[in-house]
A = this chain, B = another copy of it.
Amino acid sequence: MEPSQSMFAAASGKRLNSRAIAAAAGVSQATVSNVLNHPDVVSPATYEKVMAVMESLDFVPNRSARDLRAGGGSALGLIVLDISNPFWGELVRGAEEVAAAKGQPVIVCSSEQSAQKEEQFLRLLESHQVSAVLIAPVAPDSPALRGARRRGTRLVFLDHADTAEDVISVGVDDVKGARMAAEHLLSEGHRQVAFVNGPRSISACRDRARGFLGAYTGAGPDARVTEISVPAMTGREGMAAVEALLEVTPAVSAVFCANDMLALGVLRGLSRRGVKVPEQVSLVGYDDSEFAEVLSPALTTVRIDPFEIGRRAARVALDLSPEEAGASPVVLEPHLIVRESVLPRQA
């Protein structure tokens, strides 16, 4: 019976470290390190021997020590607005795919739109020496963010295509996306429409308003938009907005919602009141959530790709795309997905 793993583990109360591996393999600690980090510099025989020992002892190196020694971190920080929203979930997946390929896990924080939590998480991530922080900022110019940057923390802004300062950002052109929705409605003859928007404090809402209202403003004197603002972009708020919506119906023949959840709520509210979509009122959403194509009627919406945003942001953060490193911001294209919820306006 040779000295097996359990014997080793039992013998020493301490956790397995590279020194123990070295001892078991009859080499020095440095050689173990070389096997792990510079396999080319070690002889095949030694390599095999050390690898065998590591496997049989089930060795897992200690990142804290490695990071400390390296003076840097080996995890990617990520601060999103709401991890329970599939949009951000997809974004996390994208970031994770890229980070995992570089051997880095993703530390996810959900700020819940609280500036206080944002700051708290930011410091927590910094103390963990993350290699970078991808962040959807509650406010784009808080002291917390300034501080982080001053301390040398690498920051990548998400879903925030502002070309404001020297910040690196990856996002979608929401102005354009909303304009595409507007142009689609205009081309179907809808001159008087409603726009159910979230709070203007969210930059995405500002951009979508800019794009949508801009297109209608430029569409002639008879084109008019009634903007209805709700405090949160949820299905419930969408249903509540129907109250206000009915006051301007039937003058408006179509409704554009700042995201699909709002559109879902509006759809539900309207059908409760006996208003048929799209026969009486056309409806357009934003995001192309998973449920959009499966609604009745299937929702015409603007598709954005949070997975891709996450991927690109992580790439920039981890220096995998040098060509993008300088050219900030990275702006992705939205796509109009025409389904069944828009009909030409009845003359």
Q: CB-nearest residue of chain B relative to A125?
A: B105
Evaluate contact between A58 and B105: CB separation under 8 angstroms: no
Evaluate contact between A63 and B100: CB separation under 8 angstroms: no
The 9 closest A-B pairs by CB, nearest first: A235-B294, A84-B89, A64-B67, A64-B68, A108-B108, A84-B90, A268-B294, A63-B127, A64-B64
Sample 5 A-B pairs with CB under 8 A, ordered by A number: A60-B127, A62-B129, A64-B129, A106-B109, A261-B291
Evaluate contact between B89 and A83: CB separation under 8 angstroms: yes
Within 8 A of B (CB), among A108-131: 108-110, 117, 120-121, 123-129
Residues of B within 8 A of A71 (CB): 15
Nearest CB of chain B from residue A163's CB, rounded to whole Å: 27
Cβ of A272 under 8 Å from chain B: yes
Number of copies: 2
Pick out which of these stretches binds chain B: A19-27, A146-154, A218-226.
Answer: A146-154
User: Given known contacts A15-B152, A83-B89, what 10 new A-B pairs fall within 8 Å (CB)?
Assistant: A9-B150, A15-B71, A58-B151, A60-B151, A62-B129, A63-B64, A89-B89, A93-B110, A105-B109, A238-B294
Evaluate contact between B92 and A108: CB separation under 8 angstroms: yes
Cβ of A256 under 8 Å from chain B: no
Cβ of A2 under 8 Å from chain B: no
Evaluate contact between B105 and A236: CB separation under 8 angstroms: no
Cβ of A296 under 8 Å from chain B: yes
Nearest CB of chain B from residue A340's CB, rounded to whole Å: 10
Cβ of A290 under 8 Å from chain B: yes
Residues of B within 8 A of A145 (CB): none
When A67-B64, A151-B58 are in contact, do A110 and B92 touch as well, CB less than 8 Å? yes
A binding-site residues for B, Cβ under 8 Å: 9, 15-16, 58, 60-65, 67-68, 71, 73-75, 83-86, 88-90, 92-93, 96, 100, 103, 105-110, 117, 120-121, 123-129, 147, 150-152, 234-236, 238-239, 261, 264-265, 267-268, 271-272, 290-291, 293-296, 298, 307
Residues of B within 8 A of A151 (CB): 16, 58, 60
Evaluate contact between A261 and B239: CB separation under 8 angstroms: no
A172 to B118, CA, bound (A): 31
Evaluate contact between A105 and B89: CB separation under 8 angstroms: no
A15 to B68, CA, bound (A): 12
Evaluate contact between B296 and A268: CB separation under 8 angstroms: yes
A61 to B128, CA, bound (A): 9
When A75-B107, A128-B75 are in contact, do A294 and B62 touch as well, CB less than 8 Å? no
Evaluate contact between A239 and B294: CB separation under 8 angstroms: yes
When A75-B107, A109-B105, A235-B291 are in contact, do A96 and B83 touch as well, CB less than 8 Å? yes
Residues of B within 8 A of A147 (CB): 58
Residues of B within 8 A of A58 (CB): 147, 150-151
A78 to B105, CA, bound (A): 11
A125 to B64, CA, bound (A): 11
